Chains A and B, each alone.
Chain A
Amino acid sequence: MQGFSDNSFIPKRGTTKKKQVGGARQIYVFSYISYILMFATLLSSGGVYLYAQYVDTQLKTEIEALNSEIGSFSQADMERVTQFNVRLTQAQDRLENSISVVSVFEALQAATIDTVQVESLQMERQDDDKVLMNTTIQTDSFDSTIFQRSILLGDQTIQGVEISQLQTALPTQDGTTELEAATDPVVTFQTLFEIPLAEVPADPQSYQTQSSQNSSIESATSTIDSISEPGTEQGAQQESVGDNNDGL
């Protein structure tokens, strides 16, 4: 039976042919992939090269633009602005921290009762913070001393009041003031207190107002002078005052 079938002219469909057909397809797909990969690689290489050139050109353009921008920067203008700003800031700082000693005196006057007399006064400015005051005060009685202390303690401008070195002594006979000529014993004491700078600021606006008032007075005076006869003594005095004000 076996030999009969081997002699048949009808080709047999073997299993090896099926394998060959499948293998050919695999090779075809593999070659397809390899061609795609090869061409994709070549294309991407060209594209990447061109893009790299483009990016490099872009970088050079940016560098040139930055250099151009830096070149347009003016160091001299910068220093001019900086120095002006520093000068202005320093001037503003001094202006804001300037105090009026006249205001200090007026604050002291406002806090001093009539029956006391300031013998000596020491003032010391503590940076841009406060003014320390040390005064030696003379009065005629302990009642005045107590009253003076209450006034100082109740004052809003004056702070940290300390009263010390309370002494009683007879007045000197050769004194000329009413207090010294009195027969009552003299009470002296020392007061320490401080005034914040914010309480006694210098006010440039008031000076400007004063100067504008002075200038209006001067203009009025000059108008009067022009009406009155020139060369009088009064006119000469007014002129000298006007000259002095101009000097300041």
Chain B
Amino acid sequence: MMLSKNLFIQIAMITISIGIIVTFVEPTFSEIGGLQDDIAVYQTERQKVSSVNAQLDSLITVLNTVATDDQRRLVTYMPDEVDTINVVRDLSLISDEAEVVYISAAYVGEATSNTEQDDSGEAEFVQPQEYTFDLSIEGTYEQIKNLFGLLEQNNYPIDVQTLSIQMKDGGFLTADMGLSVYAHKSSVSNEEIVF
């Protein structure tokens, strides 16, 4: 009788132990495994954010070392927007400087820009916004050549896209050209970064 009672207690202890293992220990182990995985993920993400912050700090340091004059020149070279009246005025002034006969200059419109995929396929290069202008002048060959020299020395890029030169009487030439001026265009991914 005593023997069967002890045996019953022992079997009950084993059963309870197995029950505890099955209902508490094993699920808690699994939960701990999940938590450790989460910790690893959080650690990885924290390292990524830290590296981004460190890189951003270093870039800000580099940016702050750029001289104000250089930043101003860059903004002049690639402005946020093109003042079309200013450009037409500059073309007139450059024509005067080159001593050609200024006939007309006019703003044509904005050209359609495209976005280029980088070689890596990740980053996209955004082309600047292109504004086109027409310029008609008359002058000698040397004067027209001088005009193009002055256009190339301008503080912002004036690209000659098309050019038509015709001979006139007296050694004079008429030149009609299509010019492009560029403005900075923000990148496509200008949305707030959410981690």
Contact = CB atoms under 8 A, between A and B. Distances in A.
Contact of B97 (A30, A62, A248): A248
Contacts of A101: 148, 151-152, 160, 163
A108 to B, nearest CB: 11
Contacts of B117: none
A98 B59 CA distance: 28
* Range for the number of chain A residues in contact with chain B: 35 or more
B16 A38 contact: yes
Given A84-B63, A101-B160, A123-B163, A48 B25 contact: yes
B152 A100 contact: yes
Interface of A, helix, strand, loop or mixed by DSSP:
helix
B152 A66 contact: no
Given A59-B38, A81-B59, A41 B162 contact: no
Contacts of A41: 16-17, 20-21, 25
B129 to A, nearest CB: 9
Contacts, number: 192
B104 interface: no
A190 B150 CA distance: 30
B74 A98 contact: no
Contact of B169 (A30, A63, A100, A176): A176
A62 B46 contact: yes
B103 interface: no
B78 interface: yes
B35 A59 contact: yes
Nearest first, the 8 closest Cβ-Cβ pairs linking A and B are A41-B17, A101-B148, A123-B163, A62-B42, A34-B10, A91-B78, A90-B128, A121-B165
Interface of B: 3, 6-7, 10-11, 13-14, 16-17, 20-21, 24-25, 28-29, 31-32, 35-36, 38-39, 42-43, 45-46, 49-50, 52-53, 56, 59-60, 63, 74-75, 77-78, 93-94, 97, 125-128, 145, 148-155, 157, 159-167, 169-171, 182, 184-187, 190, 192-193, 195
Interface of A: 27, 30-31, 33-35, 37-38, 40-42, 44-45, 48-49, 51-52, 55-56, 58-59, 62-63, 65-66, 69-70, 72-75, 77-84, 86-91, 93-95, 98-102, 105, 119-125, 176, 202, 207, 210-211, 244, 247-248
